[in-house]
């Protein structure tokens, strides 16, 4: 009888343990579908269109700024800051609304945003080497986004040929001077401007 | 001693009760046209590896082990499968744009390279799901080639 009791309590313990473990990852958010906040959007649209025109979307500018902050954290080899900024960027990406764009652009934009959100979220939880890997694809997403949304900022597309085993990696910057987000202090000035936007 | 007895009884009752909670089984006979194997020319060895090591959690059809019938492990599996499919579903591969495919391939490659996938909790029981060195290289090489063709 004693062994039966012991087995039972072990079982109970095991059951609780399994339950606890299985719930551990439970609150990882899936990349949420772009929120359609229509009422809000209507009022925003009018203002946006009047104040800045369609080519200078305020939310797209906010996303870009979030991206630049993240880039600076990587330039400074700051893993935890980059995590924080990755999550911030994921949030502003999720609040982006493509509905004011033409149909053909909408699909492309939604695709870009979905992809970029996933990379930003991963940056929010990775070590710095992984953050940089995701940053490379994120940079491409951002460049493609700007090509559609336009921007009032002057942006430089810069390129480091050595990153990713000499496959190279590009990034966007608001400054002409090179500050390499892929190598940080290790090779701060490696790279060149390959394109100017605006 | 009496307390232990009571706890044991409660645990036993709880164990029996949770058996009646329904589980959403991930099983489907239909393989959609968008399946990874149907839209790509996958070499036989790579296909075999992917089916054994990935498809249980990353497709619409899971080959369930016996303990999937028993709670709480059924919940545990259900949770993992849902999470796995949300991240990547090989059955819905062709629904992805080239941009998304490239990103997914990038994560497939890096997670297999780093040994993050298949999950340790999965290979603990599915010993055959562990990639042999040759299979690992074959899968990674194939995924890299596919990724390059998209870029």
- Among A9, A18, A137, beta carbon nearest to B106: A137
Please give the order of strands across the beta sheet that includes A155-160.
A169-173, A155-160, A192-197
Distance spanning both ends of chain B, measured CA to CA: 68
Question: What is the spatial distance between Cα A31 and Cα B100, in angstroms, rounded to a whole number?
Answer: 13
Angle between helices A79-94 and A58-75 (to 10 degrees): 170
Rounded to whole angstroms, how far apart are CA atoms B101 and B85? 15
Tell me which H or E stretch contains A146. helix A128-149
Q: What ipTM describes this predicted complex?
A: 0.73
Domain contains B38: yes
The string of pLDDT tens digits covering residues A6-64 is 555 555 555 554 444 444 444 444 444 444 444 444 444 444 444 444 445 888 889 99
- Domain membership of residue B34 (yes or no) is yes
**How distant is the Cα of B87 from the closest Cα of chain A, in angstroms?**
8
Within the 88-107 window of chain B, which residues sit less than 8 Å (CB to CB) from chain A? 97, 99-100, 102-103, 106-107
Expressed as residue numbers, the domain containing B118 is 24-149
- Containing H/E element for B136? helix B133-150
Helix (H) or strand (E) holding A155: strand A155-160
- As a whole number of angstroms, the distance between CA B119 and CA A37 comes to 38
Task: Judge whether A74 and A86 are in contact, CB under 8 Å.
Answer: no
DSSP string, B6-20: HHHHHHHHHHHHHTT
Looking at CA atoms only, how far is residue B84 from chain A in angstroms? 11
A86 neighbors A124 (Cβ within 8 angstroms): yes
Total structural domains within chain B: 1
User: How distant is the Cα of B132 from the closest Cα of chain A, in angstroms?
Assistant: 25
CB count within 10 Å of CB B33 equals: 10
B15 falls within a domain: no
Task: Please indicate whether, in this complex, the C-beta atoms of B7 and A133 are within 8 angstroms of each other.
Answer: no
How does pLDDT run along chain A (198 residues), one tens digit per residue? 445 555 555 555 555 544 444 444 444 444 444 444 444 444 444 444 444 444 458 888 899 999 999 999 999 999 999 999 999 999 999 988 888 888 888 888 999 999 999 999 999 998 999 999 999 999 999 999 999 888 888 999 999 999 988 889 999 999 988 999 999 998 898 988 999 888
Asked if residue B74 is part of any domain, the answer here is yes
């Amino acid at each position: 009888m004693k062994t039966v009791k012991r087995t039972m309590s072990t079982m109970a313990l095991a059951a609780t343990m399994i339950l606890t473990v299985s719930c551990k990852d439970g609150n990882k958010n899936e990349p949420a579908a772009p929120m359609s906040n229509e009422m809000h959007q209507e009022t925003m649209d009018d203002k946006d269109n009047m104040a800045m025109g369609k080519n200078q979307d305020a939310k797209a500018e906010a996303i870009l700024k979030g991206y630049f902050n993240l880039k600076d954290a990587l330039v400074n080899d700051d893993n935890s800051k980059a995590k924080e900024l990755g999550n911030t960027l994921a949030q502003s990406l999720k609040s982006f609304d493509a509905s004011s764009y033409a149909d053909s652009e909408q699909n492309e934009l939604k695709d870009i945003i979905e992809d970029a959100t996933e990379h930003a979220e991963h940056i929010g939880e990775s070590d710095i080497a992984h953050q940089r890997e995701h940053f490379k694809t994120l940079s491409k997403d951002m460049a493609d986004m700007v090509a559609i949304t336009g921007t009032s900022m002057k942006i430089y597309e810069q390129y480091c040929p050595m990153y990713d085993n000499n496959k190279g990696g590009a990034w966007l910057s608001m400054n002409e001077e090179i500050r390499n987000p892929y190598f940080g202090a290790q090779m701060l000035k490696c790279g060149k401007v390959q394109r100017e936007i605006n | 001693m009496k307390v232990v007895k009571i706890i044991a009884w409660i645990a036993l009752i709880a164990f029996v009760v949770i058996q009646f909670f329904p589980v959403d089984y991930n099983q489907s006979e239909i393989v959609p046209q968008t399946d990874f194997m149907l839209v790509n020319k996958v070499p036989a060895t790579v296909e075999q590896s992917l089916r054994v090591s990935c498809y249980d959690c990353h497709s619409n059809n899971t080959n369930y082990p016996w303990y999937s019938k028993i709670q709480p492990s059924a919940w545990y599996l259900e949770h993992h499968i849902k999470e796995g499919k949300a991240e990547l579903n090989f059955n819905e591969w062709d629904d992805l744009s080239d941009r998304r495919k490239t990103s997914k391939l990038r994560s497939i490659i890096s997670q297999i390279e780093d040994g993050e996938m298949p999950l340790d909790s999965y290979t603990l029981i599915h010993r055959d799901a562990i990639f042999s060195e040759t299979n690992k290289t074959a899968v990674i090489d194939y995924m890299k080639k596919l990724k390059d063709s998209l870029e």
